Amino acid sequence: MVSCFVCIQWFHSSTSTSTTKRLSLMGTHQQSWWFTDGNYHSSLTSSQLAPHNSQLPMLDWIRQIVALGIRRPGSPGDLATEQYLQRQFLDFGITEVQLEPVPVQHWAPTETTLCGPGQDGASFSCFAVPYTAWTSPAGIRAEAVFLGEGTREQFEAIDLAGKLAVLDLRFGQFSADLLRSGAHFVCDPAATIPAGNLHAATWLVENFAAYYEAERRGALGLIGILRDSPIDGPQQYIPYDGHLKGLPAVWVGRESGQRLRALARRGETLTLKNLGTTEPVQSHNVVATVPGSTHESILLTCHHDGPFASAVEDASGLAVLLHLARHFSARSRPLRRNLIFVASSGHFHGGIGNRVFVQRHRDGLLRNTVAALGIEHIAEEATGDGHGGYQLTGQAELRVLFADRGPRLLRLLEEATRRWQLDRTLAVDPYLFGPEPPCDSAPFFTAGIPSVCHISGPLYLFDPHDTIDKVRADDLPRVAGLFQELVGSIDSLPAEELAEGLQRRRDDPPQPLPPWFCAPEDYPRPV
């Protein structure tokens, strides 16, 4: 560790009107770190510059959040997480902490079973598809039919009325080539990012339109086989759009696919039972404000809900958010801008938390917000181990920094990314995938606010294997350092300069929901 104290000096260059701030770090390493015309300069490595002794507290916060249990929107574990975050902000000495209401549906399965033909039919391990309908207590006993991948031609060839549809679910692919095509810059000094497809995009169900088509054609329920899953087992919390649906549905693991397809092709009778409760709950965005010396603000955000007792998704991002809140609230001299920390609700409810925040504050707080910074998923890379589980590769999961085309913010971001040695990183156009970036802070991008979001997409994000060992602990201080530096740099820049080059303006009309969150009535028909 670097033991140091910091001395700050201000001076004016004899040959320039610019002001320079010099920081002398004294201790095991000695250097001058200076900031001139919006640029930091340093001779030390990022490990020497990393926030002092910050990794262990961040890991402790992650463990404490994980210990609160499953954090699905509106669940007891998620509401307990809101209270935990509120206490942490208050313990840092932040006096302005608000719980802003966000309405969600707490959708909670209590019993989910799928049994084969006959009175003593063998059961299949299964998992309720989020936000789908419940069956009666007796369940649904009906003939099964195999839909293949649910193309229009396959639907036309089968009568689904009164039957259980069995579908091969298909995931999209996470493509490095696509990311590179929309990249502003790439930080990969060891050339570890391969060409082509990286792995299955478990958040992207390519043929979920078949669910709605099966409902239209009179099916009683849908059984989806996770054909492209990297592991055995049915537990994938997808899709998470928050729309309550009319047809009962379950996922079944890839290891059961062959047996289930054979039963459905023969038209055997299956029994599907899916019981649970759905109730409206008032969840909250936890909003903490560290005052600055002007009326302008910088916003930092991460969501507090998760599909399971998830460590990477997104206790890891919350830990960085808490570190930054503690760091900046402890400063004896405030920044020019207020810092607004938003631990948002309902990411797994169609990203509702930050959408509600933007709607609520668009004409007030956000008019004077010069930048919004999102922090998600500090993750280890994993692959399937060939035996139904995961194995870690020892590398960081490839990460994306979504950022718009503003030249000044991009330059700051690239310099900070390289300085903090956040390797395996691509800075990508936020609209590469659709009308908004696939991250929780998307509403700030589309509201025309200069924005950056750190995110990664490891295979295990939506299953219960997202445990503490999947957090890339060594990168916690690096990501914290990146955002700590960005905040300091942004604080000195005029709002107009930060907004140059943005593709969305503050007064542009709202964007439609992206395909991954679109309403049932807007879903495309199968092709």
String of DSSP letters for 82-103: HHHHHHHHHHTT--EEEEEEEE
pLDDT band, residue 122 (cuts 50/70/90): confident
| pLDDT tens digit sequence for 235-255 | 999 999 999 999 999 999 999
- 413 vs 183: CA distance, rounded Å: 13
pLDDT of 35 above 80? no
Instruction: Judge whether 413 and 425 are in contact, CB under 8 Å.
Output: no
- Judged by average pLDDT, the poorest of 86-90, 127-131, 331-335 is 331-335
pLDDT band, residue 120 (cuts 50/70/90): low
| All residues at 6 or more sequence positions from 16 whose CB lies less than 8 Å from its CB, including other chains | none
pLDDT of 410 above 80? yes
Greatest C-alpha distance within the chain: 91
Angle made by CA atoms 521, 346, 456, in degrees to the nearest 5: 95
Rounded mean pLDDT, 415-432: 96
pLDDT of 295 above 90? yes
pLDDT of 168 above 70? yes
Question: What pTM was computed for the model?
Answer: 0.89
| pLDDT tens digit sequence for 382-397 | 999 999 999 999 999 9
pLDDT of residue 510: 85
pLDDT of residue 210: 97
| All residues at 6 or more sequence positions from 136 whose CB lies less than 8 Å from its CB, including other chains | none
pLDDT band, residue 41 (cuts 50/70/90): very low
pLDDT of residue 20: 36
pLDDT band, residue 38 (cuts 50/70/90): very low
Rounded mean pLDDT, 174-185: 95
Phi, psi of 303 (to 5 degrees): -85, 150
Please provide the average confidence, as pLDDT, over all residues in the chain. 90
